[in-house]
Amino acid sequence: MNVSAAARRSGLPAKTIRYYEDVGLLKPDRSANGYRDYSGDDVHRLAFLKRARGLGFSIDECRQLMTLYRDRSRASHDVREIAIAHVAAIEEKMRELESMRRTLNRLITACHGDDRPDCPILDDMAGALQDTRG
C-alpha cells in the first residue's frame, strides 16, 4: 500500500511516516517504480510507534522498544527498565513544571495589571538577563 493508505490505517500523518523512515524506525519495501510499498506489518509497527510516541517516548527510546519488540527472546526486564527511566524523566519534568507554575503565579500576584509601566514579571525576566551578563 502507498503512504496515504498506510497513514489512514495507522492514524499517523504521511509526513510522520516519512520521518520515521528517515530516522531508521521503518524501512518499507519499494515497488518496481521506486514508490514506498507499506505492508500490514509496517502499519502494525507504525501503530506501535504512534502509541509509544503518545506515551512520550523519544525517538531513541522508540528505537530501543522496537528492537525489543522484534526480539522474541528479549527479557521483559529490559523493556521495564526503559519504562521506569521514562517515568522518572516524566516525574522530573513535572517537578520543573510545578516550579515554573509557582514562580509565574507569584509574579502574576505581584503584578498590578494596570496602566502603569512597572511590571514584576518583566523585571524578573530582565533580572535573569542581568545574571547572564555579569
State yes or no: pLDDT of 132 exceeds 70: no
- Pairing type for strands 29-30 and 36-37 reads antiparallel
Q: How do residues 6-61 score in pLDDT, each as one tens digit?
A: 999 999 999 999 999 999 999 999 988 888 999 999 999 999 999 999 999 999 99
Residue 131 confidence (pLDDT): 59
List, in order of start, the domains of the chain with CATH numbers: 3-133 (1.10.1660.10)
- Which helix (H) or strand (E) segment is 29 a member of? strand 29-30
3-state secondary structure of 65: helix
73: which 3 cell numbers? 527472546
Cα separation, 45 vs 10, in Å, equals 9
Residue 1 confidence (pLDDT): 93
User: 30: which strand partners?
Assistant: 36
Q: Which residue has the cell 502603569?
A: 116
